[in-house]
Amino acid sequence: MPERPTPHAGPLLLDLSKLTVPASAAQDSWSSRWRAAIAGIFSQIAIDRAWEAIQTGRVLTIEVQDGYIAAQVQDVRLQTQQQRIEVATLSDQEWELATVLLAERALFMAQLLNLHLPKDIEEALDEADISLFPRSQADFQLYCTCNASERACEHNAAVLLAIGECLDQDPFILLTLRGRDREQLTAALSDRRSGAPAHERAAGEQLPTLSAIELQAQRFWKMGDMSAMQIRIAAPEVEMESLKMLGAPEFAGDVSLLERLAPVYQRVTQRALELAYGNDETSAENGAVLIDQVEGTS
């Protein structure tokens, strides 16, 4: 089994506590599209045994990072087998083109900055012949200590099927598998929107030639399919995340502006939670800041 490669970022440990064998899933769900992407890699016997392993809790751990999966699955004798799976990542140029296409659309920008991955993102990326989902078996390199053939390995099958189920809860896992995490994508979109300074790019790095993929201002405000739009009402995981990504506005000429805006953002967050949930403290407990605490900092 090959050595684990040097990671670009820390590994993401997937939550496997709620894994079950799905009764059915919508055809456009992340899990259904993932299963379609891995179809043909494993025999039906391996797939059936893989679902059994998932259902009986024998998928112990799965870590994901930058095109790489490390996992542990118990076999039927409860012996722990180790899995290492490499997933082909998109090239830097493909990610650059993807960023351009996503930044063209206001709805996508809003959804991504709201920590929601649009289900129709693939349609936008089709323009550049880019897919977030692996396209063939050649996009996977599979290893397992059980030494079974790739097609017969129920342990690798269990890992990939389990990842598919996790995508319905956190589709940004897919980005990580293809070489970028959520923070990297949203930061790239913010740079594209504000115009990243040339000196911040790596030496010699060239922007790709867009040819037919030109920025089209008239398409930016196109609404698209609103049925997939989700509104996430919760205190941000990172306080003032959008402002921090955009940086201090040069026109303000005030180095303390971000610091002085902090209590304003806290008040707005608290008020939004109150309007959304009323007095339901359980629903609004995700990091809400009490108004009297906020006022004490202003």
Q: Which residues contact 219 (CB under 8 A, 6 or more apart)?
A: 104, 105
Structural contact between residues 116 and 102, judged by C-beta atoms closer than 8 angstroms: no
- Tell me 53's DSSP state: H
CB atoms within 10 A of CB 282: 6
Q: Where are the alpha helices (DSSP H) in the chain?
A: 30-38, 44-55, 92-103, 106-113, 121-125, 154-167, 172-177, 182-194, 217-220, 241-246, 257-277, 291-297
Q: Give the confidence band of 50 by pLDDT, cuts at 50, 70, 90.
A: very high
Q: Is pLDDT at 77 greater than 90 in this prediction?
A: yes
The closest alpha carbon to 46, from 132, 133, 142, 134, belongs to 142
3-state helix, strand, coil in the chain (%, to 5): 45, 10, 45
Structural contact between residues 167 and 34, judged by C-beta atoms closer than 8 angstroms: yes
- The tens digit of pLDDT for each residue in 235-291 reads 776 677 666 666 666 666 676 777 788 888 888 888 888 888 876 554 444 444 333
Enter the pTM of the model. Answer: 0.65
Please give the biggest Cα pair distance in the chain: 67
Terminal alpha carbon distance of the chain? 57
Helix (H, G, I), strand (E, B) or coil at 165: helix
Using CA atoms, how far apart are residues 25 and 44, in angstroms rounded to an integer?
Answer: 19
Please list the residues that pair with 86 across neighbouring strands: 68, 141
Where do we find the tokens 């949930």?
A: 277
- pLDDT number for residue 288: 40
The closest alpha carbon to 227, from 25, 35, 26, 24, belongs to 26
Structural contact between residues 273 and 284, judged by C-beta atoms closer than 8 angstroms: yes
Using CA atoms, how far apart are residues 265 and 291, in angstroms rounded to an integer?
Answer: 11
Where do we find the tokens 């026109």?
A: 251
C-alpha gyration radius of the chain: 22
The two tokens of residue 104 are: 């063209």
Q: Is pLDDT at 168 greater than 60 in this prediction?
A: yes
- Residue 18 Rama label (left phi>0; alpha psi -120 to 50; beta): alpha
The closest alpha carbon to 214, from 126, 294, 100, belongs to 100
- The tens digit of pLDDT for each residue in 97-144 reads 888 888 877 777 777 777 788 888 888 888 888 999 998 889 999 999
Chain centroid to CA 217: 27
- The tens digit of pLDDT for each residue in 169-196 reads 899 999 999 999 888 888 888 777 665 4
